[in-house]
Amino acid sequence: MGNPDFKKQLLEWRHYLHKYPETAFEEKKTSAYIALELKKMGLQVHENIGGTGIVASLTVGDGKGVIGLRADMDALNLNEIKELSYRSQHPGKMHACGHDGHMTTLLGAAKLLSTRKNFNGTVRFIFQPAEEIGKGAQAMLDDKLFERFPVDEIYGLHNMPGLPVGTVHTRSGPIMASEDNFVIRIKGKGAHSSSPNMGVDPLVIAAEIILALQTIVARNLDPIHTAVVSCTEIHSDGIRNAIPSNVEIKGDTRSFIPEVQKLLEERMRKLSEGICTMYGAECEFEYTHEFSPTINWEKCSKIAIEAANNIVGKENTNSDCPPLMASEDFGKFTEKIPGCFVFLGSKGENEEIIPLHNALYDYNDNVLETGAEFFAEIVKIRLPE
């Protein structure tokens, strides 16, 4: 590492992508920009995969192995407030999760591999739309991603501003949780606030449901497993002096294995319906699976750890990091093929931690080259000359 021209190119890419953020399935200019840069490198580029996604292929030699490297492309609906020379030019949109850095890292890996050609086989550079809403990976799969562009293994990364800069963290098995969304609609009977006996109060019922849902993790889930049930919104059609007829509770759950997802859904449904019945109200329960858990395959985790050791050193590689309850739709890919996801630390020494999804967040340019070299090293290991 240390090529000044390469670093300059990485900065140019990242700052352009940061300046012109686009949200889920709207990444048309982003996609066009990336496709053009990949074509300049001589890669075979296919656009509009799963909407705005890109798959670029690079083959060297006659090797049969195929490695996939993935980056997400979408921004968030946030208004950037940090003063930067490359500040977002799209009001109400910004790269507050670092996907601008992820795209740049993958472009950098493509540049390194297309220049060095130090492998024997094929690399697919997969630029995925709509990760933030959990729909982009599935959209690419629905567009026959792996049938059209076969891949043996896939690797991805996410920057982590809470972890030391230039460190790599991963683990075999679950590394990020599923996200399931729920809506509980309670239909009671409205009444004047002075005469609650004339109605069926859905707010009181909602309060009991919200508290009851917290018993699932505490009393129904095997203690060796982990889950989160969060009620995050409550809406009614009432006014100050009227008991409402309808209340809606929204929220999400997080877990790591299908058995726990099933338990959460079944117990939440029974509790909600049972409490409503007890009070004489009607209940409508809706539960949807938005993000699959991200499960790292053991053989791929070993490769990622070896690559990290080679690039950042064993002392900067955590091979058994704790899993996160946050979600990433990379998990849709590892349901289909072997893969591994890693976290790339980006917190500089003595720097304040600005968390992801914060209007002040900006990707740490100092880890762009590290990420690109890490991806390139995986390919070198898996597709030896």
Interatomic CA distance for residues 122 and 67, integer angstroms: 6
Interatomic CA distance for residues 53 and 27, integer angstroms: 8
346-367 average pLDDT score: 95
Is 158 labelled a binding residue? Answer: yes
Largest CA distance in the chain: 81
Interatomic CA distance for residues 322 and 155, integer angstroms: 19
At 191, the pLDDT band (50, 70, 90 cuts) reads very high
In terms of Cα–Cα distance, which of 346, 365, 312 is closest to 9?
Answer: 365
* % of the chain residues with pLDDT over 90: 98
Interatomic CA distance for residues 363 and 97, integer angstroms: 8
Is 18 labelled a binding residue? Answer: no
Classify residue 324 by its DSSP letter: B
In terms of Cα–Cα distance, which of 282, 272, 265 is closest to 207?
Answer: 272
Which residues lie below 8 Å from residue 228, measured CB to CB, with a gap of 6+?
177, 217, 253, 254, 255, 325
Q: What is the pLDDT of residue 350?
A: 87
Tell me the domains of the chain and their CATH numbers.
4-176+293-382 (3.40.630.10), 178-291 (3.30.70.360)
Q: What is the pLDDT of residue 147?
A: 98
In terms of Cα–Cα distance, which of 273, 275, 288, 259 is closest to 182?
Answer: 288
297-344 pLDDT per residue, tens? 999 999 999 999 999 999 999 999 999 999 999 999 999 999 999 999
**CA angle, 18 then 22 then 28, to 5°:** 115
81-91 average pLDDT score: 96
Residue 226, token pair as written in the block: 């982990």
Q: Is residue 50 scored above 70 in pLDDT?
A: yes
65-94 average pLDDT score: 97
Classify residue 31 by its DSSP letter: H
Q: Is residue 1 scored above 70 in pLDDT?
A: no
Is 357 labelled a binding residue? Answer: yes
24-36 average pLDDT score: 98
Is 235 labelled a binding residue? Answer: no
Burial of 212 (0-12, 13-18, 19+ CB in 10 A): middle
Q: What is the pLDDT of residue 373?
A: 98
Q: Is residue 2 scored above 80 in pLDDT?
A: no
Write down the mean pLDDT value for the chain.
97
Under a CB-based contact definition with an 8 Å cutoff, are residues 130 and 74 in contact?
Answer: yes
117-143 average pLDDT score: 98
Strand positions, DSSP E, the chain = 44-49, 53-60, 66-72, 121-128, 153-164, 168-169, 173-176, 178-187, 191-192, 227-236, 242-243, 246-255, 282-291, 294-296, 317-318, 339-347
Query: CA 269 → CA 184, 219, 261, 280, distances in Å?
Result: 9, 16, 12, 16
**Which residues are bridge partners to 231 per DSSP?**
251
Residue 156, token pair as written in the block: 């991805």
99-108 average pLDDT score: 98
Q: Could you write out the DSSP letters of every residue in 146-193?
A: HHHS--SEEEEEEEEEEEETT-EE--SEEEE-EEEEEEEEEE-B-EET
- Tell how strand 66-72 and strand 227-236 pair up: unpaired
Interatomic CA distance for residues 184 and 295, integer angstroms: 29
Q: What is the pLDDT of residue 349?
A: 87
54-58 average pLDDT score: 98
Residue 313, token pair as written in the block: 């050193």
Q: What is the pLDDT of residue 224?
A: 94
Q: Output phi, psi for 76, to 5 deg.
A: -115, 155
For 159-189, b/e burial (b = at least 16 CB within 10 A) is: bbbebebbbbbbbbebbbbbbbbbebbbbbb
Helix, strand, or coil here: 289?
strand
Classify residue 315 by its DSSP letter: G
Q: What is the pLDDT of residue 3?
A: 85
